[in-house]
């Protein structure tokens, strides 16, 4: 489980020290409703509720995508990072946990309150790149010219814009990207629809897909199905309280796309959905160059079964 790092946790605790825990319950319920509807917040997110009830989940999803990137593009060692639609800077903290060689971070957001919070949390981080992070007020639809970075991450940011803009914004982010672009959205049909737009726009720019797609043919997934993944995270006490939750963990669903300028080490098929582990066999739903397929591996085929039994939703099946 990708728990938020101790220095970020401490910075969040200091920020929340003045808010009454009870006051976050209603704000968190309103925020959850916004996400359930699959839409954007229109800038109305409560910062405290976001830190307690959303940031741990977006952090875990971003880490999960970046860990996949590290495997599929092993020579990539970014020095510069653009956290586009940074909110409190979640993607920067996640990126530094995977790529400690990043030495320059830019937060970009059109919400001054979020940018100020990102700067305040980052100033309390142990990593020098966080302490020296640059904050830039700008709109994703009108990116300034001086925002180039090796790694560009736009996490849960396109949901705030009209769906028809997703491709155009992806193209602008791609221009700002010197090596790899990571776009993550909520794992809802609407979130995936934006990722599909991003995919088409980036392929038209000549980008190489790194994940989750293992091919650059047209996407075979048709509604009502949608391509999404899941990451489990532990809930802290105040997180459980804010969400009025009864279990100490949650499963964050996300859709994503990673594209690079150089080709990645991409092969096989992606496992869509949890494998069905039955008495006689284990069954996988796969997406690969030949489209969608199903594959089962019999338990009695010991060597093959041993190879696949630990594979999970989102892994590569080779």
Residues at the contact surface with ligand SAM, assessed by CB under 6 A: 43, 55, 58, 85-87, 90-91, 109-111, 114, 139-141, 155-157, 160-161
Shortest approach of ligand SAM to residue 91 CB, angstroms? Answer: 5
Shortest approach of ligand SAM to residue 114 CB, angstroms? Answer: 4
For ligand SAM, give the closer residue by CB, 7 or 160: 160
For ligand SAM, give the closer residue by CB, 111 or 180: 111
- Please give the Cα distance from 12 to 51 (Å, whole number): 7
Shortest approach of ligand SAM to residue 79 CB, angstroms? Answer: 21
For ligand SAM, give the closer residue by CB, 109 or 150: 109
Shortest approach of ligand SAM to residue 25 CB, angstroms? Answer: 20
Q: Which residue is nearest to ligand SAM (CB)?
A: 87
For ligand SAM, give the closer residue by CB, 152 or 213: 152
3-state helix vs strand vs coil in the chain, percent to 5: 40, 25, 35
Q: What is the largest CA-CA distance in the chain?
A: 60
Shortest approach of ligand SAM to residue 62 CB, angstroms? Answer: 6
What SS3 class is residue 286? strand
- Please give the Cα distance from 67 to 79 (Å, whole number): 17
Shortest approach of ligand SAM to residue 121 CB, angstroms? Answer: 11
Torsion of CA 147, 190, 239, 64, to 10 degrees: -60
Length of the chain: 318
- Please give the Cα distance from 185 to 165 (Å, whole number): 14
Q: Are 205 and 199 in contact (CB under 8 A)?
A: no
For ligand SAM, give the closer residue by CB, 55 or 129: 55
Helix axes 112-123, 90-98, angle to 10 degrees: 40
Going from the C-alpha of 213 to that of each of 59, 256, 301, the distances in angstroms are 22, 10, 28
For ligand SAM, give the closer residue by CB, 132 or 141: 141
């Amino acid at each position: 489980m990708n728990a938020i790092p101790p220095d970020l946790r401490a910075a969040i605790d200091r920020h929340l020290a003045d808010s009454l825990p009870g006051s976050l319950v209603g704000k968190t319920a309103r925020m959850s409703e916004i996400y359930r509807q699959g839409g954007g917040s229109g800038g109305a997110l409560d910062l405290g509720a976001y830190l307690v009830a959303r940031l741990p989940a977006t952090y875990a999803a971003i880490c999960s995508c970046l860990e996949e990137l590290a495997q599929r593009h092993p020579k990539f060692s970014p020095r510069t990072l653009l956290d586009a639609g940074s909110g409190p800077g979640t993607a920067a903290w996640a990126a530094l946990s995977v790529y400690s060689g990043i030495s320059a971070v830019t937060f970009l957001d059109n919400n001054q309150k979020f940018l100020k919070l990102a700067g305040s949390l980052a100033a309390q981080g142990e990593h020098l790149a966080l302490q020296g992070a640059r904050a830039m007020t700008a709109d994703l639809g009108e990116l300034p010219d001086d925002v180039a970075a090796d790694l560009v991450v736009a996490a849960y940011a396109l949901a705030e814009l009209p769906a028809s803009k997703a491709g155009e914004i992806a193209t602008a982010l791609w221009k700002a990207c010197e090596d790899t672009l990571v776009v993550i959205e909520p794992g809802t049909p609407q979130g995936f629809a934006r990722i599909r737009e991003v995919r088409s726009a980036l392929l038209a720019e000549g980008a190489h897909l790194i994940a989750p797609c293992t091919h650059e043919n047209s996407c075979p997934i048709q509604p009502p199905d949608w391509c999404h993944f899941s990451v489990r995270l532990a809930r802290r006490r105040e997180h459980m309280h804010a969400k009025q939750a009864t279990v100490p963990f949650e499963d964050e669903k996300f859709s994503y796309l990673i594209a690079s300028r150089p080709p990645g080490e991409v092969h096989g098929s992606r496992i869509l959905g949890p494998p069905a582990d039955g008495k006689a066999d284990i069954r996988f739903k796969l997406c690969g160059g030949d489209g969608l397929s199903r594959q089962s591996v019999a338990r009695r085929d010991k060597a093959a079964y041993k190879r696949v039994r630990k594979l999970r939703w989102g892994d590569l099946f080779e």
